[in-house]
Amino acid sequence: MEISKEEEEENQSKIKSNEESETFFVDLSKNNLRDFSRSSEITDNGRPTVSVNGQPLPAHVVKKAEKLAGPILPGDYWYDYQAGFWGVMGHPCLGIIPPFIDEFTYPMSRNCAGGNTGVFVNGRELHKRDLELLSSRGLPTTTNKLYRIDISGRVVDDDSGKELYNLGKLAPTIAKMQQQQQQQLRFRVKEADCQCSNHPTRPDSTLVH
């Protein structure tokens, strides 16, 4: 069965779109492991803590959230409930997890990601790195603009409520994303264990697990 030129072009377009989604996800995730160690903290009584959007979470809540989010290291994080973007407080996006995790419903502060671009997504001012990644998918870089973006990549002007366009899927598959994050966490566990054996008396050597 012969394939028409139009069908061939459509197939090539789909392949290119999938490749761009993969690249976007990889760009979000790579070279950010150092932010995990910065985020880790110990309370006065020595127990690790997790905070999301400024809200400390009890251990049982963290455990419940991990069913969707995957393993959660001790630290201070921001989380975009609408799109699933997340990162260490004061730093750019580290990756994407499922949106609408009920345990993380607390609102983000506008400066949670250390952004100074004047472009806002779901209430968060984008860090320069995040804006570069999203603009490569078509998000405008005009300052003083507010947008809403969901996990499907749909972009809505926050002022007018008008849907502008679609950036394409922001994560190829949540399952693949979680698998890569777990691999990263296992790497950090191994690294932290080595640090502990070399510096057994230093309290900060056990921050990242």
Q: What does the pLDDT look like over 141-195, one tens digit per residue?
A: 999 999 999 988 999 999 999 998 898 877 654 445 455 555 555 544 444 454 4
Q: Does the pLDDT of residue 207 top 50, yes or no?
A: no
| Contact assessment for residue 130 and residue 113, using Cβ atoms and an 8 Å cutoff | yes
pLDDT at 169: 77
* Joined tokens for residue 195: 């640090």
Strands 119-121 and 124-125: antiparallel
Question: What string of DSSP letters covers 93-134?
Answer: EEEE--S--GGG-SPPPTTTT---SSEEETTEEPPHHHHHHH
pLDDT in tens, 6-29: 555 554 544 444 444 444 444 444
**What does the alpha-carbon distance between residue 164 and residue 15 come to, in Å, rounded to a whole number?**
23
pLDDT in tens, 68-86: 998 899 999 999 999 999 9
Phi, psi angle pair for 78, to nearest 5°: -110, 155
pTM: 0.67
